[in-house]
Chain A
Amino acid sequence: MPKLIITDRSGKKSEIEYDSNFTLMETLRDNGYDIEASCGGCCACATCHVYIDEKWINKLKNMDDDEESMLDQAFDVKKNSRLSCQIDLSEEFDGLELEIAPE
């Protein structure tokens, strides 16, 4: 199984295996990470905000307007900010590193 490397809000780093059928948000939530995702993943809130490691950010599909607009409601937005519900995982992301953004 491919893996993700995740830094949680306390700074703790851990590895989880993922299934390419799910989005990054679903994978984080299903693995017990504290990610609110209050709209359930339809890009209608900004509560699944993550920072993707610089090495990986350009390998992801570009953000669409919806996601970029929703990020306007997030705080501490950085160049590597993404909404995890909009990231469909695939095998090629094996080893992707990310950090969960502050609440």
Chain B
Amino acid sequence: MTDKTDVVIIGAGPVGLFAVFELGLLNIKCHLVDNLDKVGGQCAELYPEKPIYDIPSRPVVTGQELTDELIKQINPFKPKFHLNQQVEKIAKTEYGWIIETNIGTKVEAKCIVVAAGAGSFVPRKPPIENIESFENKSVFYAIRDKSIFKDKKLLIAGGGDSALDWTNELSKDSSVTLIHRRKEFRAAPDSVSKMQELETKGKIKFLKGQIKKISKIQDSKIMLEYENDDEKLNIEVDYLLPFFGLKMELGPIAEWGLNLHENLIKVDTEKFETSTPSIFAIGDINWYPGKLKLILSGFHESALMAQEVFKYCFPDKKNIFRYTTSSKELQKKLGV
């Protein structure tokens, strides 16, 4: 089934969220797509607890607080979120555009607004020679179907929540060894103590070290060489599950034929439209002379972008500028 709306916003970070507000004031409805499992982009994923000091009127606000308040602010406009997926393809239609995600969600819209920040969050892959040839066979960066690991030997690498949670979970049905460069873990204390309890009971093994090499041995088993201080050791397993957090990359956006400037999307500073009409780019992902990668710049860009998107959505209507302080019509939309 294909959903239909006015605008698809790619990226649900602070700028994508605020775009819902600016578009909403002009009666433009939005769907948002984000690769993360939550809303808020870098603010929620990278630095939820870190203070931000340059949001106007907020002397200090954390990444998570900013996200929560933006969600509250756009709630009257009832945006629809498609999380945990990445827009892979876009195609022109009579209506406007159709976007398709990696898990098959399709949305048709008049305009596309790219608010993708520094790109999509994707798993950080350890720089081990030849690891690509093992990916999705013996090496997995994310787990979709845990049944394949039943009764197998696994090596889980990392010291964060994903590594520890999966160690604890998969130890029920698999033989799990956890490898991490030190004995301390940044994961939640509860998961750490659970893991240590499993280790004491002999249900899992822990190795200190860093993986350096991967090679194939018979029966689809793999051999990992790891280093602990200067000692080189080997372990043989069925699967390697590395969990080293996330990094950002531009991803499929680079293939859409938009004019780029050093991996950023070129826009004009009046409408924030890209080289392709009815595709816009706002926030850290865009570039124009004098661009500053600030959240506040993205907010400003949202407001101007919305004026132009209005023309695509309502070509026969005149857009009259109004203030939320005085316009009864806007206040009605906001439910205040």
Instruction: Give me the interface of A with B, judged by CB distance under 8 Å.
Output: 38-39, 42, 44-47, 68-69, 71-73, 75-77, 102-103
Contacts and interface: CB of A to CB of B under 8 A. Distances in A.
Contacts, number: 45
A73 B50 contact: no
Contacts of A103: 127
Interface stretch (B13-21, B178-186, B197-205): B178-186
The binding surface of chain B is classed by DSSP as loop
Contacts of A72: 158-160, 180-182, 185-186, 244-245
Nearest to B45: A44
23 contacts: A38-B247, A42-B47, A42-B50, A44-B46, A44-B47, A44-B50, A45-B247, A46-B245, A68-B182, A68-B184, A69-B159, A71-B181, A72-B159, A72-B160, A72-B180, A72-B181, A72-B185, A73-B124, A73-B160, A75-B126, A75-B210, A76-B127, A77-B181
B47 A39 contact: yes
Interface string B100-133: 0000000000000000001000001011000000
Contacts of A45: 46, 247
Interface of B: 42, 46-47, 50, 118, 124, 126-127, 158-160, 180-182, 184-186, 210, 244-245, 247-248
Given A42-B47, A72-B158, A72-B159, 18 more contacts: A42-B46, A44-B47, A44-B50, A45-B46, A46-B245, A68-B182, A68-B184, A72-B180, A72-B181, A72-B185, A72-B244, A73-B124, A73-B245, A75-B127, A75-B244, A76-B127, A77-B210, A103-B127
Residue from B42, B126, B184, B186 having most chain A Cβ neighbours under 10 A: B186
A42 B51 CA distance: 9
The binding surface of chain A is classed by DSSP as loop
B141 to A, nearest CB: 13
